[in-house]
Structure 1
Amino acid sequence: MLNKSSQILDREAIRSKIKRIAFQVLENNYKQEKLYIVGIKGGGAIFGQEIIKELHQISDLKPVFIELSIDKSTPETSEIILSSQIEDSENAVIIIVDDVLNSGKTIFYALRPFISIKVKKIETAFLVNRAHRSFPISANYTGIELATTIQERINFTRSDEGFGVYLE
């Protein structure tokens, strides 16, 4: 019987990707006073919190975490809920984080709360970039780029043993 799920990244590989992304974020934002990591609820929130933990270990940056809730199945009509608001937005750098970048649809609509405020810059970070874009979204920080078919799914999981990325 064939295994329908193949592990792409194990705990150590994910840790390595998070560390590398944290160093890239630091390199590009070391002078920023207001840095917000906005994690899409679910895998994006977990990934974002792990980036913040790593930033605390390697720098004096004090990023603020905000969880963004959006219905990924219907993001165009979904209510967007932020766990807290952006303060002093004019000087803020916002990094929107999700586990997998596929079509770009979720991130495209997740930008709505930030379109009406003045910010210094908005960046994106993804653990996995699948490059099946239908929307004008690009990744500033990427853990891994995968060439997959549209039918295949990528799942980021967290358990007591750690993290895993699986191709199904």
Structure 2
Amino acid sequence: MQQTTVLDDQAIRRSLTRISHEIIERNKGIEDCILVGIKTRGIYLAKRLAERIGKFEGNEIPVGELDITLYRDDLTKKTVDNEPLVKGTDIPISINNKKIILVDDVLYTGRTVRAAMDAIMDHGRPAQIQLAVLVDRGHRELPIRADYVGKNIPTSSSEKIVVELVEVDETDRVTIHKKE
């Protein structure tokens, strides 16, 4: 399988900095905003965004973690007992009447985001849900679009986008893999 790097560590850093500024600007600050990362890599991206936003605003933005395993409509079984492996959700404050900014690494069909919205709604009633993604690769199956995008990378359905983050993979990069 052939791979090409489309974002290196510096490009990822610049994208996250830009998204941070866009979040602040669109929401006129960060009051009543909560970043919620979708497991797994979305959580690390949300924490990085929170760090940048904190520096720019001089104020912390709450960060939560969301596990959408039970909300997937294409649930795959990941344990011996044929039960889904649930990693847990942790949202530190009430989401009622707050602006939730979902954070994920790649936006593809939209099914992950739909599942995340279902999971969020089970935790309360936010005033608004926004979406921030590092990569939008197209091929939507549902009418979902990102409010904040690090990079649009048009792909064919035979290609695969792989996001690697230091926290999980010991490097920061986004690659596109083409089947030969």
TM-score class normalised by the smaller sequence:
0.7 to 0.9
Amino acid at match of 2:140: R
Q: 1:89 to 1:148 in 2, by over 3 A?
A: same
Determine the structure 1 residue equivalent to 2:78. Answer: none
Partner secondary structure for residue 5 of structure 1: strand
Amino acid at match of 1:89: N
Mind listing any 5+ residue stretches in structure 1 that lack a counterpart? none
Q: 1:12 to 1:124 in 2, by over 3 A?
A: same
Superposed CA RMSD in Å reads 2.3
User: Matched residue pairs, number?
Assistant: 164
Determine the structure 1 residue equivalent to 2:174. Answer: 165
- Calculate the TM-score normalised by the size of structure 2: 0.82
Q: 1:89 to 1:149 in 2, by over 3 A?
A: same
Determine the structure 2 residue equivalent to 1:132. Answer: 139
Judge conservation of contact 1:14–1:163 (CA < 8 Å) in 2. Answer: yes
Q: Percent identity?
A: 29
* TM superposition shift of 1:118: 2.6
User: Once superposed, which parts of structure 1, at least 4 consecutive aligned residues long, lie more than 6 Å away?
Assistant: none
Instruction: List aligned pairs for 1:2-151, cutoff 5 A.
Output: 4-71=2-69, 75-76=72-73, 81-84=88-91, 86-87=93-94, 89-90=96-97, 92-115=98-121, 117-151=124-158
Mind listing any 5+ residue stretches in structure 2 that lack a counterpart? 76-83
* TM superposition shift of 1:52: 0.6
For residues 10-50 of structure 1, the C-alpha deviation after alignment (integer angstroms, 9 at most, x for no partner) is 00000000000000001012344221111011111111111
Judge conservation of contact 1:80–1:110 (CA < 8 Å) in 2. Answer: no
Deviates more, 1:44-53 or 1:108-117: 108-117
- Calculate the TM-score normalised by the size of structure 1: 0.87
* TM superposition shift of 1:113: 2.9
Judge conservation of contact 1:99–1:126 (CA < 8 Å) in 2. Answer: yes
* TM superposition shift of 1:85: 5.1
Q: Aligned partners of 1:71 and 1:96: how far apart in 2?
A: 16
